[in-house]
Every structure is written in C-alpha cells, then in structure tokens.
Structure 1
Amino acid sequence: MSKSFEIVNGTPHYNLYIDGEWTRSLRNESTDSMNPATGELFARVQQAGKAETERAISAAHGAYKAWAGLPVSAREAVFFKAADVLAAKAQEITDVLIAESGSIAGKSGFEVGYCFDLLRTAAAEMRRSPGETMPLTAPGQFGFTVRQPLGVIAGIAPFNAPFLLAMKKVVMALAAGNGFVLKPSELTPVTGLKIAEVFDEAGLPKGLLNVIPGPASEIGATIFADPRVRMITFTGSTQTGRHLAVEAAKTLKRFTLEMGGKSPLIVLGDADIDYAVKAAAFGIFFHQGQVCMANSRILVEEPIFDAFCERFTAVAKSLKVGDPREPDTVIGPLIRGTQCAVIDGHVEDAVAKGAKLLCGATHKDQYYWPTVLSGITPDMRIFHEESFGPVTSIIKIKSAEEALEIANNTDYGLSAGVITNDMQKALDLAFGLDSGMVHLNDCTVSDEPHAPFGGVKNSGFGREGGRFSMEEMTELKWITVQRGQRAFPM
C-alpha cells in the first residue's frame, strides 16, 4: 500500500496524490516546506509538473461520471466516513496547520471544526432537489430543470486558511458530482495533502480527488490548456485572480474568484465601546491579519472616537506575540518575512503624510507586532492597499452617511461590519455598502459552510458555500415533456 509520506533523516517526505495512489513525480523533484514560526524545515514535498497535472486531470475525468451516477446514499456515506476520519486525525491536522502555516492553536482548531460542518452540509446538499417544473405554452407540454456535474474542476487554494478553504472547494465539487484537481498553496502543501489522506481513508473512489503541489506557472498552464477542465475555483490575491480570469476566458472555462479586501468596520456613536473594541480586535488580529475579510479600516463616529482609540490601542498592546504552539499566543508569525517590509512601507507612508502611530510598527524575523494608526486619509497607500498583516487604520467619521461614502471609496468589496443599536441606520448601511457580505453588530470576519461567501468589485466573482457552490459547480439543463402529440403548423 502506498504511503503519503516517508521519514528520511528525521524529515517527512510527502508524495503526490494522483488517481488514488501516493506517487512521486517523474522528475522526482521536491521542495522544502518551512515552519514560519521557527524558520526550520518542516517537510519536503514532491512537485508536480505538466505530466502529473495531465495524469490528475485524466483521472478526474475518467472517474466523475460513475461517481455522479451512484445512489445518493452511497455518495453521502463517503462523506460521513470522511467526517469520522477527520475526527480521528483532528489533532494531527491541527499540528500541521500550526507548524506549516503559523496558525495559533485556536485558529487551527477552528479550521478543522469548520470542516465537520462542511462535510455535513455537503452531504445534505446531495439530498436536495435543485430543479423545478414550469408550465409551457404548447398544450400538454411541461418543462423541468436539472443540474448536472460539469466534469473536472480545478481548485487553487491559499496559505492563510489552507485546510478550510481547500476543503470547501473539494467537498462541494464532489457533492455536485464532479472530479477534482487541487493545487495547494506552495507555502502550505502538506495541509492540502492531508485532505487527500482524509478522503483516501474514507474510501472515495480512485481518481475523483487528486492533490498536486507544485509550481503555479507549470500546473496552471496545463490546467488552462486542457478542455476537460470545465471550471477553476481560486482563492488568493486580486492580481493573480485577474490573470486567472483572463486565461480561463480564452477557453470559456467557468471560474469563481475569492480575492483581496479592504473591509470596513463602521462603529456608530451609540455603540457599546467595549464590545466594539473586542469585535474590531478580533476582526483584524485573527491569524495576524492574514485574512481577506479582516477589518483593516475601522470607521468610528466622532463622539466615541477618542475613547475607542484609547481602549483599542490598549487591547492591541496587550496581545501576546510569539510561538503559535503556546496556548496564550494571539499573534503568530506571518507566512513570509518579506511581508514585514510591505507593512513597513504602508506605515511609513501614512506617518509621513500626517497619520498618527498609536502602537506597533515593530517586527522581528517573521513576527509583526499589532499596529494601529489614526488620522488616515485617502491619499495614503494604506487607505487603499491591502497590508495582509496585523495593522489597521482608525478613521474618524461625522455620520453614517459619511461612513458609507468612505467605506465605499475602495476598489474592493468583500466584507463589511456595522456596530450600532440603531437598526434603521444599520439596515440602510447594509443595503448601501458595496460589499458581498455585511455583518450587523459584528466584525467583518465570518463564514458558514452553507452561506454565500464572496465579494464584489476587485474582491471576487461568484459565491462559495452550500447550494451556492452547487449552482456554480453544475450545469443547468432544461428538459421538456410532451403529453400526447403536439400539433405542428406544417
């Protein structure tokens, strides 16, 4: 029986997962996966190229029709078994997330726990009837719609929530009857391979799921060129998403894009300040701010602005920065040390243009301390650009109307939050915000397996989650039935 990895000189060496087998690439090339907290080698991972990508696509294409044709009870049984396997491997996967992505224990546990709900949601979706019947003009005729799988779907996953976001793509595509090829982030390849372990042990028919870590350029070019790949689902940067959309359009592949954000949290003057501070802190400092929907802009109404800044800064200063394995750590390492220079550039530009640094702007190795700025204006880079780190801007507003104007002054539109006791203003803002998701009396960070997750403008295209994923990942077909004989005009 093939194995996902072997220990060589104390380091796990991971294989690719193609057509139900753990295998090396033809070139037998590996790359290092590093622990961002320590800078030490975590694992070595085989790298797929064109040949392995073509094998993965062929396997998925050859397997999906038989899978889609199975009784729903047989397909959902695999998902229930996968949940059992996930339970048995929960601590192992949590440990991998901590070591490979720098996630603190609480965040890693959340990812794994989310995927239990995700598997149940997907199993339930297989039981839903997605079609409808409709009357037609011709006498004795009626129509109905059905949804059928696209065939092969390729997924490109990010590093920041590598298990949850990759699992969401895989699980919903399989639930819709498709085969799947997953390219994990080059920074968190082992986490993606753990998904293959779960489904392999759960008895998923061979070929349906293939996990191929490797260089994005080579794998991507092969996926784009192959007509058997009907859809690409991507989570990552806006720059990469734009390129992907252009390439996919050349061969009319479907795509969903979940990209960057500059999400606003609006705190009106009647809000409970302590609650708003807690919500805002979680919304920006969760996973070191490496979250696409993080509230990196906090818009606070003038009457409570000073008090909010003081209390929020105190909280930011109190958060422990350090080893993500320690239970009281809140801020772990950034995935790359080079991101510290990006954040420094944003902070220095803002301060040079008149912003006030309330705390932070210090870093060591791949750790960046919680950073808070006030006095931010639209001429500063940090107002518009995504820092993707533990840094936020507090902006003073005079009214809900001004908050709406400032919040919408961005090319992004992923998530938004509003904290107020005035439900009329809350709803007015919810309807007026240019955002795919709005959370009232909450921060901007929220996700549910059955909810439509996604953004507008440069933040995304399409939706993920529950039946919304099923709609994206299936083809809608209209069928008509003639009762008796139709009268033709000739």
Structure 2
Amino acid sequence: MSTTDGLPDWHARIFSQGWQSSSGGTSPVREPATGAVLGEIGIADATDVDSAARSASKAQAAWAALPFDQRAAVFRRAEQLLAERAAEFQRWNVREAGSIGPKADWELHATREQLSMCAALPMQAIGQIFPSSMPGRTNYWRRVPIGTVGVIAPWNFPLLLAMRSVAPALALGNAVLLKPDAQSAVIGGALIAQLFADAGLPAGVLHVLPGGPATGDAVVRHPLVHMISFTGSTAVGRTIGELCGRMLKKCALELGGNNAMVVLDDADIEAATSNGAWGAFLHQGQICMQAGRHLVHRSVADAYARRLAERANQLHVGDPHAGPAHLGPIINEKQAARVEALVRGAVADGARLLAGGSRDGLFFRPTVLGDVTARMAVFADEIFGPVAPITVFDSDDEAVALVNSSPYGLAAAVHTRNVQRGMAIAHRLHTGMVHINDQPVNNEFHVPFGGMGSSGNGGRFGGPANLEEFTQTQWVSVMDTPITYPF
C-alpha cells in the first residue's frame, strides 16, 4: 500500500496502532550490493516502546478471548496474502537483505509453512485434568498466554526468523512487540505488519518497532513486556538473559554457532563436499547454522579439500538483484572486514589458502582454508562469512573432542556410509541438532529447534515446542462443596 504521494505507508514510520511517525527519527534503507538508498524507515525510541507496550497490554486480553477459530482464521488469511504478495517479499529480501533468489524463495516458503502451522495452534489442547487425593476436588492444569512478547529478530533471515516467534506468540493469544534489525526492517518488519493488518489482526496486538541496541534494550526492560524471544549473537544474548533473569522475565535465546561438519574416512566425498559447500557458502555464510568448521579424517582430507575448492571456484559472486548469483554481498563493511581479517590471520598462522580469500567491497569470494588448527581464531570463532576452514583428525574420538571443544552447541553434521557409526557419534556431541549425511543448515517448521551451551538457553522453536515457549501454566482446583479445615 502507498500514500497519496506515492511513498509506501511504512515510509519514515513505525507500526503501532497503524502507521505512525516515530520519536526516534528515521534511517535510510540501503541495498548492500550497490549502496543505493531504497527508502526510509522510522526508528523507535524508548518513548515509542512505552506507548506500544501500553497499547499491547490493553489489546491482548480481548485478542486472547476470541474463539480459537477466529484467531486461526487470521493466520490462514495471512498465509494466503503472503502467497499473493510473494513477488514483493522476494524483491525486498533480495535488495534489502542481499539474499540470492533461491534463498529468498526458500525463506518465503518456510514462512508460509510457519503461518499454516500457527493456524492450527489455537485449537490444540490447552490443559489436562489431574486426579486428587482430596474427595470432591478436580485439578485443572491449563496453558494461558504470557501477555506481551518482545521479539528481537536478526537481519540474515529477516522474514522467517521474525515470523518464527511472532506467529506462534500471536496464535497462542499473546500481543507482540517486534523489533526488526534496522538493516532489514522492511522485509523483516514493515511488510509483516501490513500482512497481519490486512489479514484482520486487531489493532494494538502487533507493533513493529525498528531500531538498534537502544530500542532492543527498551523492549527488554519494559515491565509490560513479559517475555523476550531473541535471535542473534551470543554476546547480546548473554546481556538479555541477565536482564530477564533479574526481572524474572521468561526469555528464549537462539544464539550464535560454530558448527562442525564431520567427514569420516568412509564418507562419500562427492556428496560430502556438496554438503560442505552448501553449508559453508549459502547466503554468504551469514547463517547461525553455517558449517564453520570442516573436520575431515586425515585419509580423505586432501580429496575433500581439493573437491571443495573446485566447488568454491565455480560459484559466481554478484548483485543478486542484477542477475543470477550463487553468493550476494556481505551485509555491511564491518562484517566484511572482520571476515577478511579472520582469513588473513589464519594464513599468517600457517593455514593454506585453497580457494577465494579476496573481496571486492562487500562481495567476498567463497574461501577454503587447509591446515587449520584448533589454536587459530578461524577455528574458534563464529565466522559468519563464506569461509570453510578444514581441520584433520585421526579417530572418531578425536573428531568428537574437536566438535565439543567449542563453547557453541547449535548444530553439527556427520558424513559416513555407516549410519550406525554416525548415530553413535551424534549421541556424543554437545549440540542441539545433528544431521547424518546432510549439512548443518537445516530447519523444519514442525521440529523443535535450538542449541546448547553458548548457542542458546534451551529455548526451542517449532511444532509442539511453541506451546511450551509462548505460554505459561496455571493450576485451578475446584471443590464440589467448600472444604472445612480444623482451624
């Protein structure tokens, strides 16, 4: 939708009881591939957050009280509208977030699945009846909404990773304050706001408040926001967890990863390198589940490195809006410089550069590094760029120890022709997800998702886990007649 002057409704605005001017000023929407300014978004400040939280608090009870079929209808309509507006969502994902077309296609499809699943959430069983040792008593245990949920979403999969929390939180009767990253506030915020408004979500139930750390801090600290769902870096997640702990506020933290791709001596090298390239280079490696450490048995390490480097050299890097590309731009200069520094530091420490290693502005060639040791920063740190460091091992025990040496514990993959061997290794890994004969970048909307250690606090998204994350429970006991106590 557009205003009378031809600008979109979201231009220089936030969404809070409709499109409103923001107190925090505005920020340009930049295309990372070209630097072009595509528009302007409103930036929310603490005043905007306070107003939104108060509005959400007033609207939430009536939304939760709606019959379940009426809430479900909003999500069915939203999924239908998302399909109808696919071209608009795709265009913004490519231009604003630097996504290649196939990645944007997958993200849209996965988001539609999320909405379809959430249309079924309101009709799920909300409680149980427990027996009692007290004659005449019935014990009801039920799930109830939390109230208002603050969702802080990242820029790398801005549509899906916002909707992964927004949709189930709303479906289960909560109001939501969504703070998208300012670098992806159109695809990850403004278009979502309009989608739900047009789908019939009542005013005041969803607020979209773009901004940076100060905006997020205001959302976390607000007393009328009862839960925080955060997806982002471990460093920020620790701070949010500390704040929520002091406020006795529920939080779900899905944080960084340094995910291992384990290739055993009996692996299919052609398949393993296909998986390794996809897991390392998809979306320029800017994925929390990226295959950031390639742990390869010594007997097949040379073959794996050679074939992975060949695959990397065949990939085209360019502006995904201008034409087909396998990799688009890194999101900003700071991150591109960090990736470059990690690669240069590894080479200086003795790693071999087998492919890539160069950049042109924000465009970074897919990079393969050999002879990487566990002492190098490129092994220990989350890279968040298109880099595949290869480290060799000599036994299954050593491979397990290398995987578990990282404080992160999000995802891992194991390649072997012996599935039972792969399962035995998987059961020893301290990661929230393990994929046998696949790569770590996996997500299925109905399967609980989350990490261990520095990758998260045990919060899970997906399927039945949504019921646990976005509700709280209440015990109600009923006596047929009042009980008399001896006092």
TM interval, shorter chain, is over 0.9
For the 8 Å contact 1:184–1:213, the answer to whether it is kept is yes
- Aligned equivalent of 2:202: 205
Shift of 1:488: 4.3
Q: Residue 467 of structure 1: CA displacement?
A: 2.3
Residues 4 and 402 (structure 1 numbering): CA distance in 2 closer, same or farther, change over 3 Å? farther
Equivalent residue for 2:124? Answer: 128
1:382 and 2:367 matched: no
Alignment partner, residue 348 of structure 2: 352
Q: How has the CA–CA distance of structure 1 residues 78 and 4 changed in structure 2, closer, same or farther, with 3 Å as cutoff? A: farther
Q: 460, 475, 478: which one pairs with 1:478?
A: 475
2:30 is matched with which residue? 34
1:15 equivalent to 2:10? Answer no
**Separation in 1, partners of 2:384, 2:206:** 31
After TM superposition, the structure 1 = structure 2 runs for residues 189-268 of structure 1, keeping only pairs within 5 Å, are: 189-191=185-187, 192-217=189-214, 219-268=215-264
CA contact (8 A) 2:152 2:216 kept: no
Letter in 1 for 2:204: G
Pick from 431, 434, 447 the counterpart of residue 435 of structure 1: 431
Distance 2:10 2:481 in 1: 67
User: Offset at 1:14?
Assistant: 4.1
Q: Which residue of 1 aligns with 2:403?
A: 407
Distance 1:62 1:246 in 2: 28
Bigger Cα displacement from structure 2, 195-204 vs 393-402: 393-402
- Does 2:287 align with 1:295? no
AA of the residue aligned to 1:366: L
CA deviation map 1:303-338 (0-9, x unaligned): 222111111110011000011125531010000122
Deviation at 1:269, TM superposition (A): 1.6
For residues 456 and 414 of structure 2, the distance between their equivalents in structure 1, rounded to whole angstroms, comes to 21
Q: What residue number does 1:82 align with?
A: 78
Does 2:41 align with 1:45? yes
Distance 2:348 2:14 in 1: 49
Shift of 1:224: 3.3
Cross-structure match for 1:343: 339
Sequence identity, in percent? Answer: 38
Task: Tell me, in whole angstroms, the C-alpha distance in 2 between the residues paired with 1:380 and 1:454.
Answer: 27
Q: Is the 8 A contact 2:21 2:42 kept in 1?
A: yes
* Cα deviation, residue 156, structure 1: 0.6
Contact 1:5-1:15 within 8 A present in 2 as well: no
- The one-letter amino acid paired with 2:460 is R
Return the alpha-carbon distance in structure 2 between the equivalents of residues 297 and 361 of structure 1.
16
SS at match of 1:339: helix
Contact 1:262 1:296 in 2 (8 A): yes
- CA deviation string 1:400-422 (max 9, x = no partner): 22110101110101111111121
- Equivalent position amino acid for 2:11 in 1: H
Contact preservation (8 Å) 2:33, 2:98: yes
Deviation at 1:487, TM superposition (A): 6.8
**Separation of aligned partners in 2, 1:134 and 1:428:** 39
CA contact (8 A) 1:4 1:15 kept: no
Give the match's secondary structure for 1:321.
coil
Deviations 1:92-126, CA, capped at 9 Å, x for gaps: 01000101010001111111111111011111122
Amino acid at match of 2:172: A
Q: Which amino acid aligns with 1:465?
A: G
Aligned equivalents of 1:266, 1:403: Cα separation in 2: 7
Q: Matches of residues 412-423 of structure 1 in structure 2 within 5 Å?
A: 412-423=408-419
> Is residue 286 of structure 2 the alignment partner of residue 309 of structure 1?
no
How big is the shift at 1:470? 2.3
- Paired residue secondary structure (2:33): coil
Residues 311 and 11 (structure 1), Cα distance of their counterparts in 2 relative to 1, 3 Å cut: farther
Distance in 2, Cα, partners of 1:43 & 1:5:
16
1:467 counterpart residue number: 464
Are positions 1:366 and 2:362 aligned together? yes
1:318 aligns with 2:326: no
TM-score by length of 1: 0.95
Q: Is the 8 A contact 1:132 1:146 kept in 2?
A: yes
Given that 1:236 and 1:258 are in contact with CA atoms closer than 8 Å, whether structure 2 keeps it comes out as: yes
What is the rounded CA distance, in whole Å, between the counterparts of 2:11 and 2:306 in structure 1?
A: 49
C-alpha contact 1:415 1:436 (8 A) present in aligned 2: yes
Whole-angstrom distance in 2 between the partners of 1:407 and 1:87: 40
Q: Is the 8 A contact 1:4 1:14 kept in 2?
A: no
Q: Which residue of 2 aligns with 1:138?
A: 134
Partner of 1:276: 272
SS in 2 for 1:269: coil
Shift of 1:268: 1.2
3-state SS of paired residue (2:207): strand
Q: CA deviation at 1:485?
A: 6.1
The one-letter code sitting in structure 1 at the alignment partner of 2:100 is I
SS at match of 2:252: strand
Question: Could you state the TM-score of these two structures normalised by the residue count of structure 2?
Answer: 0.96
Alpha-carbon spacing, 1:421–1:141, altered in 2? closer, same or farther (3 Å): farther
Give the corresponding residue for 1:173.
Answer: 169
